[in-house]
Amino acid sequence: MHDFGVDKDLCVRCKECVRVCAWAAIEIGGEGIPIHSPSRESLCIACQQCLAVCPTGALFICGVDPKGCVKSSQMPDISAVEALVRLRRSARFFKKEPVKRELLDRLIAIAANAPTGTNSRMLRYTIVEGGALERFREAVYGRIEELEGKGLIPEKLWYLKLMAKAWRQGRDVIFRDAPHLLLVSSGREATTPFEDGIISLATFDLVAQSAGVGTLWLGFAAFIMELAPDLGQALGIGAEREICYAMLAGVPDVTFRRGVKRDTIEIERAVFGP
């Protein structure tokens, strides 16, 4: 079902793959070699934990060759990850040049490895760019004005009215003249559709920064499409999908020279029971 197999010559019969399988979809077969359980194979969620834990790279699944996988020795240390998090900044100024398609696709492919509820993996990235983004931008601002005229802008989104006025004055305060808009949507039958999208975009955000790509979380676009769902449908995002959130991406036209320190956060260690 998931192209599960084991190289008998490399397998050391450690049974680690059996131990880590969350759904007990692996059992020991002849000669002590792991196999997909005939009675539980259908429970496999293709998480690839078995492939990741194999000490000799003997196991393959889902067509993935362990030889081509990232090695645990490549894990960055905490200082490197801390630097990435502290240096991550929101970009509100973008150059006109687009991000190369190969790089953008690679960043999304990396973000696809982020966890999803029950490993449902029902996310889709819709990339709006070029002429499509220009037309969508105009449609969004026009829809804000239309909704305002009908008195349908909720009080909590009052600032959308000012944004539409700024657009008519030559300032794009929603899309920031970014070359790419990313919309992440999920199948509504997913266990945690909204959360999956946020986790994926947060992963994309960090990876993009490491590649010199600027990003900006764009709640404004998500809010507008809640008010006008036909805008999402015009982009091919049907009613069967839930738009999780939006993000701008592009080559940043601003240089941040150091990270920040915003370490203050409430921490409470709970006491449960007597």
C-alpha 202/C-alpha 200 separation (Å) is 5
Amino acid 166: pLDDT: 95
User: Domain range for residue 234?
Assistant: 84-250
**Looking at residue 228, what is its pLDDT?**
92
What digits encode the pLDDT tens for the residues 28-75? 999 999 999 999 999 999 999 999 999 999 999 999 999 999 999 999
Give the model's pLDDT for residue 1. 63
Residue 180 confidence (pLDDT)? 98
Cβ neighbours for 126, distance < 8 A, ≥ 6 positions apart? 182, 183, 184, 185, 235, 236, 237
pLDDT tens digit sequence for 122-150: 999 999 999 999 999 999 999 999 999 99
One domain, residues 169 and 118: yes
231-274 pLDDT per residue, tens? 999 999 999 999 999 999 999 999 999 999 999 999 999 999 88
- The string of pLDDT tens digits covering residues 185-239 is 999 999 999 999 999 999 999 999 999 999 999 999 989 998 999 999 999 999 9
Q: What is the total count of domains within the chain?
A: 2
Confidence (pLDDT) at 248: 98
Model confidence at 165, pLDDT cuts 50, 70, 90, reads: very high
Q: Do 25 and 124 sit in the same domain of this protein?
A: no
Q: Are residues 65 and 92 in the same domain?
A: no
In a shared domain, residues 127 and 244: yes
Same domain, 95 and 176: yes
20 & 114 share domain: no
In a domain, residue 33? The reply is yes
Q: Is 219 helix (H, G, I), strand (E, B) or coil?
A: helix
